[in-house]
Structure 1
Amino acid sequence: MDELKAAGLVRPGRGRGGTLTLAFGHVRETATARGRVRASGQWSRPDVVAVEVWSSPLLPDVELTISSFEIKRASEANRLGSLHETAAHGRWAHHPSLVVETASVEDEFPLHDDILLELDRLKLGLYTMYNLGDGTFRVEQHVFPPRQTPDLGDLHNFLDHFFSEGEMLLKKYRQAIGR
């Protein structure tokens, strides 16, 4: 998860000439731990989620941005189901993205052409995460997804879950949004 933060996955294209500043940002692993079966047997949450609040001293409102990252090995990422799982997170994420994990930097681009076409059709972001062999990864952005507009009720429910384990974090978030 540190590599995802360090790679700047959650801050692409921000700042727009210095007009917006990050008032709140937190990245959290939200998926079920590896090796455990999901109780529902259904897609639930992406592997990693970033919640950001952007503000400007001259604008009356803040901008909430939720980015989701579904991490898959290359063999799993070449299945339509992986794209549809990533797209399902768009019901509450502004920027859903697929992160494809490969074994090394030398690996060829991991996705087949038909998968890339579907990724574009679904308006998903695409990153690759290369294992550097020392327990760390290098993350590269290939496609940044256009902003989606999730339902406000779904956003509320997700944020309720996201902040369920941290009262202090929730307090910082509320301060950033002016509540």
Structure 2
Amino acid sequence: MNTDDLPAPATEANWSEEQGATGLSLKDRILEQLPVDGSLKPNAELLSALGADKQDFWSARELLVEEGKAVRGRGRGGSTARVLDAELTTEPVDEVGAEYALPRQPEDALYEPLKKVLLGDWQSDKGFDYLAVEDVSRAGRRITGGKWTRPDLVAVEVQVFTYLPVKTLSVHTFEVKPSDMIDVTAVYEALAHRRAATHSYVLLHVPDDQQPPVALEGVITEARRHGIGVIVFADPSNYDTWEEKVVADRTEPEPAALDDFVRVQLPEAARSKIEKAVR
């Protein structure tokens, strides 16, 4: 990711221009919109009520999270809740969201819109900072170790922490399944990726959340047992229809396996960004 394209660091000063007639900053306006009982409010509703620029909203919301005044929640498009107790550090688990129903789409048609959301609202909502998100489903002639060792999408992040003297490489893999191919096999494919990934997810197309596939509950149960993340979506290009059913556990693969995964699976441009970021 070119640092010239990144938004300015989130600081209180950034929001002086966002003050409205009330004199409140965007950060304070978000807090004002959050229910006083600590219940979740969908991010889409917050954006609509505030009329704010989406990227400004994510940055201001992240400030509230960093200050311990708000927490991220799940549900379609994600959600936010007010912190009522200073000791509260976990995310609310209630699920919120609207109903959507879209027709079945072929798997390869899902990749590009999913990539855009992963690089946009998904990483903004979750606090990630991806260097790249790549479609590696069609690896061409590259020898990648077999079908189940190759995910559909891969996202890479290099984190720098204030009190740790090292840079941390995170690799997120995503196994995508269209609506008529949802079964527990997706979990086992994602599980195979964890040999060289820190987080593994399945991304499942569920066009109608009122009539989910019969196998969905089994997928969720098996994924939870293995620490695999589960995300369902109605519209691959609209984060408001995404819902994180299971949060992926972080694993620590062998450094050699992680290094080899990057070398074999990712294109040269992505490898170059990673190499620069970890130096």
TM-score, normalised relative to structure 1: 0.74
> Are residue 173 (structure 1) and residue 277 (structure 2) matched?
no
Q: Which residue of 1 aligns with 2:119?
A: 5
Query: Post-superposition shift, 1:73?
Result: 1.8
Instruction: Answer yes or no: is the 8 Å Cα contact 1:10–1:67 preserved in 2.
Output: no
Give secondary structure in 1 for the equivalent of 2:185: helix
Q: Which residue of 2 aligns with 1:61?
A: 166
CA 1:149 to 1:10, structure 2 compared with 1: closer, same or farther past 3 Å?
Answer: farther
Higher RCO by CA contacts (8 Å cutoff, separation 6 or greater): 1
Instruction: Answer yes or no: is the 8 Å Cα contact 1:86–1:96 preserved in 2.
Output: yes
Query: Post-superposition shift, 1:63?
Result: 1.4
> Are residue 96 (structure 1) and residue 189 (structure 2) matched?
no
| Structure 1: gaps spanning 5 or more residues | 15-21
Give secondary structure in 2 for the equivalent of 1:131: coil
Give secondary structure in 1 for the equivalent of 2:251: coil
Structure (1/2) with the larger strand percentage: 1
Q: Which residue of 2 aligns with 1:52?
A: 157
Mapping of 1:55-134 within 5 angstroms?
Answer: 55-78=160-183, 80-104=184-208, 106-110=209-213, 111-131=215-235
Instruction: Spell out structure 1 runs of 4+ moving beyond 6 A.
Output: 38-41
Deviation string 1:64-96 (CA, Å, 9 cap, x unpaired) is: 111111010233222x22211111111111110
| Structure 2: gaps spanning 5 or more residues | 1-114
Instruction: Answer yes or no: is the 8 Å Cα contact 1:9–1:141 preserved in 2.
Output: no
CA RMSD of aligned residues (A): 2.8
Distance (whole Å) between structure 2 residues aligned to residue 172 and residue 98 of structure 1? 25
Distance (whole Å) between structure 2 residues aligned to residue 55 and residue 75 of structure 1? 40
Q: Which residue of 2 aligns with 1:158?
A: 261
Give secondary structure in 2 for the equivalent of 1:7: helix
Instruction: Answer yes or no: is the 8 Å Cα contact 2:134–2:266 preserved in 1.
Output: no
Percent of aligned pairs sharing the same letter: 25
TM-score, normalised relative to structure 2: 0.50
Query: Post-superposition shift, 1:98?
Result: 0.6
Deviation string 1:72-130 (CA, Å, 9 cap, x unpaired) is: 0233222x2221111111111111001101225x5444444333221111110010121
Structure (1/2) with the larger helix percentage: 2
Distance (whole Å) between structure 2 residues aligned to residue 148 and residue 10 of structure 1? 22
Query: Post-superposition shift, 1:39?
Result: 10
Q: Between Structure 1 and Structure 2, whose CA radius of gyration is higher?
A: 2
Q: Which residue of 1 aligns with 2:247?
A: 144
- The number of residue pairs the alignment matches comes to 159
CA 1:39 to 1:52, structure 2 compared with 1: closer, same or farther past 3 Å?
Answer: closer
